[in-house]
Amino acid sequence: MSETSRSGAGRRLEAVSLASQSPRRKELLRALALRVVVIPSDFDEDRAEAAGEPEQLALTFACAKARMAKATGPAVVIAADTVVALDGQIFGKPKGTADAHAMLRALSGREHTVYTAFVVCDRGTGEERSGVESTRVQFSALSDTAITAYVASGDPLDKAGAYGIQGRGGLLVTSIVGDFYTVMGLPLARVGGALAELGYDLWAS
């Protein structure tokens, strides 16, 4: 069966390439009834210069992931990047447990903003769509005991801002203003809109 087939105004999309190692992004795309093939990218965000406005930084990183992705897998490639910003400071993934603890202490009792940029490329047509979504997140006041326990779980170490809103990380959050999926790492409605602009129909069966 081909990756796409004609259905109404748009083509049915059955599979995508994901230029990200994030299990959360893979899970979100699979929830859209898509087969997801994770493809490697030569982009090393640990070595990249993390400076500038958070929106632009996230978009630059997402574009780099897409551009440097291996030319394998399904023709439609999706890449994304998430950063957390507080008082002009940008928090990416922590470099270790001490860094994760410091990030969570800084976020404790405060409102911060999560920015997730995405890129959708159709290698078959050469077309591309991209964008950035932002969501405000309010943290509860965290005790040192809670921070230490959460960091010890290992859950914060692969996430921007040292937390994930799903799982136990949800205990840290008292409210959000904006798109929940942006905080998870992939704004699904925006990505769906980008795919529609490229001629794909996620509602097709």
The pLDDT assigned to 205 comes to: 65
CA angle 100, 191, 28 (to 5 degrees): 55
The pLDDT assigned to 71 comes to: 87
The pLDDT assigned to 161 comes to: 95
* SS3 (DSSP) at 31: coil
Per the structure, the complete domain to which residue 51 belongs is given by 4-201
- Distance CA(175)–CA(33), nearest Å, equals 29
The pLDDT assigned to 167 comes to: 86
The pLDDT assigned to 46 comes to: 59
Percent of the chain with pLDDT over 90: 82
CA–CA distances in Å: residue 48 to residues 21, 44, 57, 150, 164: 17, 6, 10, 27, 22
For residue 135, give the nearest of 155, 156, 117, 158 by alpha carbon.
117
* Rg (alpha carbons) of the chain, rounded to whole number: 17
Place of tokens 């922590």: 94
**Phi/psi at 89 (nearest 5 deg)?**
-95, 135
Q: How many CA atoms lie within 13 A of 118 on its CB side?
A: 25
Which residue(s) pair with 18 in the sheet? Answer: 38, 78
List the catalytic residue out of 42, 44, 46, 81.
81
Buried-exposed string 58-93: b where 16+ CB fall within 10 A, e elsewhere: bbbbbbbbbbebeeebbbbbbbbbbbbbbeeebbbb
pLDDT at 146 over 70: yes
Q: How confident is the model at residue 4 (pLDDT cuts 50, 70, 90)?
A: very low
Kindly state the tokens that stand for 68: 């440097």
The pLDDT assigned to 50 comes to: 59
pLDDT at 6 over 70: no
The pLDDT assigned to 204 comes to: 81
| Mean pLDDT value of segment 4-9 | 44
**Is 81 among the residues known to form the active site?**
yes
Q: Give the model confidence (pLDDT) of 51-95 as tens digits.
A: 679 999 999 999 999 999 988 899 999 999 999 999 989 998 999
For the chain, helix (H) and strand (E) counts, in that order, are 6, 10
- Distance CA(179)–CA(202), nearest Å, equals 19
Q: Average pLDDT over the chain, rounded to whole? A: 91
Contacts for 126 with CB less than 8 Å, ≥ 6 apart: none
What's at 171, amino acid-wise?
L
Cα first-last separation, the chain:
14
Q: What total of structural domains would you count in the chain?
A: 1
Q: Give the model confidence (pLDDT) of 7-43 as tens digits.
A: 446 899 999 999 998 999 999 999 999 999 999 888 8
Q: Return the minimum-mean-pLDDT range out of 13-17, 45-49, 74-78, 132-136.
A: 45-49
CATH number at residue 100: 3.90.950.10
| Mean pLDDT value of segment 116-122 | 97
The pLDDT assigned to 31 comes to: 93
